[in-house]
Amino acid sequence: MIGIALRTLRHRKGAFAGAFVALLCAAALVCACLMLLETGLRGGVAPERYAGTPVVVAADQYVRQSVDKGDGETKTKAKPLTERAWLPASVADGLRRAPGVSRVVTEVTFPFGASTGHGWESAALTPFTIARGREPRAAGEVVVDARAGLAVGAELRGHRVVGVTAQALPSQDTVFFSTAEARRLAGHPGKVSAIGVFGTGEVAVPEGAVVHTGDERGRLEFLDAEQARVSLISMGGALAGTSLLVAILVVVGTFALSVRQRHRELALLRAVAATPKQVRALVGGEALLVGVAAGVLGAGAGVGLGLWLHGTFVALGTTPANLRLVVSPFPPLAAFLATVGAAQVAARVSARRISRIRPVEALGEAALDQGRLPWWRAAAGAVCVAGGVVLVAVLSGLRTEAAATPVTMLTALLWTVAVTLLGPLLARAAVRVLPLGAAGVSGFLAGRSLRAAPKGLAAVLAPLTLLVAMTCTILFAPATVGRAAEEQARAGLRAGHVVTGAGAAAVARVPGVEAVVPVLRTTVRAGLDKYAAQAVAYDRRVLDLDVTAGSMDAFGEDAVAISGTAAARLGIGAGDPLALTLGDGTPARLTVAAVYARGLGFGDLTLPYDLVTGHVDDPAPTLLVSAPGLAAAALRAALPPGAEVSAVTGGPTGGAAGGPTGGAAGGGANQQAAFVALGLIIAFTAIAVVNTLAMATSGRARELAALRLAGTTRRQVLRMLRLETLGAVLVAAVLGTGVALVTLAAFGAGMTGSATPSVPPVAYALVIAATAGLALVATAVPARLVLRVRPAEAVTGR
């Protein structure tokens, strides 16, 4: 059968071109996503600053917890810290006394503007040497690296440059201070961020310290790389699974359309005594050949797509440049096998009905499309509807974005699968209500055509519905959370100004300032679960968290306020104890003073400012200032040079929107990266729409030629096709919008407490307009090519 399948492909290239394109895109998308996943699992980070140090000792940068496996055994799980953990400086004294250790170098690391600050004591770790000038010796003196472009005597953020190094690190700008000044600026008295050990002896370290060698030094040096690895694992896995599900759905539809267009040919084979097994083998052989060719080319293209994705994430700042992309045979091989498997599944499903009918009925089946739904398809559709209802119920109970996002995509996909399976029934119902007859001769022909071939309309509806549903879900799920966060932050923020680069005391002394609240953003863990948190010196004249239980009057040094969502997740309330791990790994046992409602706008946890200030990498706070009647320009003029003042205008101020209070939804760069990755799925679905419509239009050459021979003009035929396409887009828009609204309502109910999603009218109109534009172009281009052939030649097939 492979030989026959090869000859079939050779003579019917157009019928299989659509399936080939769909499979090729699917292989590329799955391969690229798997490359991200493998990078997260196996990616290494080469050290830069610690490249010249054989052994680096540092505090454990993970939260660890023993979990009972249920059979008497325990398993230790670990999650990375979001801030750098620090070691007591006394550890270095013990290491100096260890046998075989020739030298021990301590260092502190802290942010200094866009650069990284260190004490000159640790210059030997790389090593750095002075090219011009001298080392820093007093407060106010700095040494910059060779890439800074500053000369000795220049000023840098209020400090005088006294030296320039001969070296510069590839991906970080370095500034050196005197040892005493660096430790003061780092804000961790008596502690160091790392200890470099030189010598030949084995290093023994106390509990809580970890030895790093090889590429492990890079992971210690670039803590954001470890966070990026975790993000790539979750993003790559979720996107690979979503891509594969979308690919199977698209490819099944494409193959079904291809088989339907060849129904007469396959029916003739049944009529001349071909067995069902032979017909399935023929279609399976065709799918195997197309799948192998598309899988090989698509897997190769997927490697390039993976490189592009990695480069894009680096440019967005979500992935460090030194987190090397892992390129191995696994992702292309897995993508190839998945593509071939999807092609086989699609072919078997598509050929099932034609291969099982009796030979005498085969030609009749080919000639007449009654749109009847096989029992197995109706049953599968009912199961998908039931599964969609279950997922909607599950989604409405999810309160965290990490848990809700993959379920949201799966919910939209499952409802779309249900629409695809029940497509012929939905198509027959739709053509009865479409007002095509009012559009003259072309409208009459379009209506008759759609009524005569409901399966053809159903084949077109599937990718169109998928495109509308997935695009609306991907675009409007973040908008739903963002709108709720903005509303909460706007309602709870009483400050009139946001100040950075100045001390709270200096701002409080300005005449007209009523209250100043310093804010730090961080992340803490309760057990292994991560929560966004803000640390504030609470003042109700600046912040109103909308307390629902307890009181902020009890908010003090050993207290914490918690959002209602986090309280429900943890099963605690006002007055209960709460054990936390701060961002740098420091344990804290606090008492819940209050439960508040505005968690999206202000973070899941609100901690005392004095508790957190010594446990973050960057202790410089954002100041929220209440100063009624004081203009931003007047406040700026009263502050020291370098202070920045902006007015709170009622726009996005909550953490979910990226504002000063540090809310729940994460950074804008991570959201952009997610949009880029999910945008590839939208692009793949758009390609499927163009592909399917082009195949459907090209496969109607005989029908269009017969209309021309019956006296229909070329313009009337083109207008008929446009009306059919617009009718299909209208039905798909209704179905896709319904799928998206059901999914977004459940998502919103869980994440924001409101089942009303945020759907900006302009953005929604652009989605529908883009879908309609794609569909019309995909119909018009092949239609014009088909109509160039003389009608008589098209009907006879010559």
Instruction: Report the pLDDT value the prediction gives residue 363, as an integer from 0 to 100.
Output: 55
Min mean pLDDT across 334-343, 345-354, 651-660 is at: 651-660
Work out the mean pLDDT of the chain and round it to a whole number: 84
Closest-CA residue to 721 (of 386, 371, 373, 449): 449
Asked whether residue 89 is assigned to any structural domain, the reply reads: yes
pLDDT over threshold 80, residue 361: no
Same domain, 736 and 789: yes
| C-alpha to C-alpha distance for 105 and 95, rounded to whole angstroms | 10
Same domain, 130 and 182: yes
Same domain, 518 and 588: yes
Closest-CA residue to 413 (of 15, 690, 684): 684
| C-alpha to C-alpha distance for 532 and 606, rounded to whole angstroms | 9
Instruction: Report the pLDDT value the prediction gives residue 131, as an integer from 0 to 100.
Output: 95
Min mean pLDDT across 268-277, 615-624, 695-704 is at: 268-277
Q: Which residue, 200, 219, 238, sits at the end of a domain?
A: 219
Asked whether residue 697 is assigned to any structural domain, the reply reads: yes
The predicted-structure confidence for 723-770, as pLDDT tens digits, reads as follows: 888 888 999 999 999 999 999 999 999 998 889 999 999 999 999 999
Asked whether residue 190 is assigned to any structural domain, the reply reads: yes
Min mean pLDDT across 42-51, 102-111, 280-289 is at: 280-289
Split at pLDDT 50, 70, 90, the class of 534 is: very high
Phi, psi (rounded to 5 degrees) for 498: -120, 125
Element (H, E) at 54: none
pLDDT over threshold 90, residue 434: no
Instruction: Report the pLDDT value the prediction gives residue 372, as an integer from 0 to 100.
Output: 66
Asked whether residue 618 is assigned to any structural domain, the reply reads: yes
Instruction: Report the pLDDT value the prediction gives residue 289, as an integer from 0 to 100.
Output: 85
Asked whether residue 124 is assigned to any structural domain, the reply reads: yes
Give 143's contacts (C-beta < 8 A, 6+ positions apart).
120, 130, 133, 135, 136, 161, 162, 163, 164, 165, 175, 176
pLDDT over threshold 80, residue 19: no
Min mean pLDDT across 284-288, 644-648, 656-660, 789-793 is at: 656-660
Longest dimension (CA), the chain: 101
Instruction: Report the pLDDT value the prediction gives residue 793, as an integer from 0 to 100.
Output: 57
Same domain, 187 and 254: no
The model's pTM: 0.81
Domain of residue 786, residue span: 389-482+668-798
Asked whether residue 791 is assigned to any structural domain, the reply reads: yes
Same domain, 509 and 464: no
Asked whether residue 155 is assigned to any structural domain, the reply reads: yes
| C-alpha to C-alpha distance for 681 and 669, rounded to whole angstroms | 19
Q: C-alpha distances in angstroms, 438 versus 196, 305, 712, 776?
A: 82, 47, 18, 20
pLDDT over threshold 80, residue 263: no
Instruction: Report the pLDDT value the prediction gives residue 656, as an integer from 0 to 100.
Output: 36
Same domain, 528 and 560: yes
Split at pLDDT 50, 70, 90, the class of 438 is: low
Instruction: Report the pLDDT value the prediction gives residue 12, as an integer from 0 to 100.
Output: 59
Check residues 27 and 435 and name the one with the higher pLDDT: 27
Is-contact 172 49, C-beta < 8 A? yes
Distance of CA 67 to the CA centre of its chain: 29
Asked whether residue 337 is assigned to any structural domain, the reply reads: yes
Closest-CA residue to 730 (of 458, 320, 430): 430
Split at pLDDT 50, 70, 90, the class of 132 is: very high
Check residues 60 and 271 and name the one with the higher pLDDT: 60
pLDDT over threshold 80, residue 386: yes
Q: Which residue, 164, 192, 219, sits at the end of a domain?
A: 219
Tokens standing for residue 624: 């929220």
Is-contact 253 459, C-beta < 8 A? yes
| C-alpha to C-alpha distance for 266 and 256, rounded to whole angstroms | 13
pLDDT over threshold 90, residue 797: no
pLDDT over threshold 50, residue 484: yes
Same domain, 126 and 175: yes
pLDDT over threshold 80, residue 775: yes
| C-alpha to C-alpha distance for 36 and 286, rounded to whole angstroms | 32
Is-contact 635 627, C-beta < 8 A? yes
Instruction: Report the pLDDT value the prediction gives residue 706, as an integer from 0 to 100.
Output: 80
Same domain, 299 and 352: yes
Same domain, 699 and 721: yes
Split at pLDDT 50, 70, 90, the class of 219 is: confident
Q: Which residue, 368, 398, 420, sits at the end of a domain?
A: 368
Min mean pLDDT across 104-113, 260-269, 696-705 is at: 260-269
Is-contact 162 141, C-beta < 8 A? yes
* Mean pLDDT confidence for 33-39: 90
**Could you check whether the bond before residue 127 is cis, i.e. omega within 30 degrees of 0?**
yes
Amino acid symbol at 469: A
The predicted-structure confidence for 496-522, as pLDDT tens digits, reads as follows: 899 988 889 999 999 999 999 999 999
Check residues 417 and 667 and name the one with the higher pLDDT: 417
Min mean pLDDT across 90-94, 222-226, 617-621 is at: 222-226
Split at pLDDT 50, 70, 90, the class of 348 is: confident
Same domain, 323 and 270: yes
Split at pLDDT 50, 70, 90, the class of 1 is: low
Same domain, 774 and 695: yes
Ramachandran quadrant class, 187 (left: phi over 0; alpha: psi -120 to 50; beta: rest): left
The predicted-structure confidence for 670-729, as pLDDT tens digits, reads as follows: 677 777 877 888 888 888 888 788 877 877 777 788 888 877 888 888 888 888 888 889
Split at pLDDT 50, 70, 90, the class of 441 is: confident
Same domain, 508 and 465: no
Q: How many domains does the chain have?
A: 4
pLDDT over threshold 50, residue 663: no
pLDDT over threshold 80, residue 267: no
Instruction: Report the pLDDT value the prediction gives residue 371, as an integer from 0 to 100.
Output: 53
Strand pairing class (194-199; 101-107): antiparallel
pLDDT over threshold 80, residue 293: yes
The predicted-structure confidence for 464-478, as pLDDT tens digits, reads as follows: 998 999 999 989 998
pLDDT over threshold 50, residue 618: yes
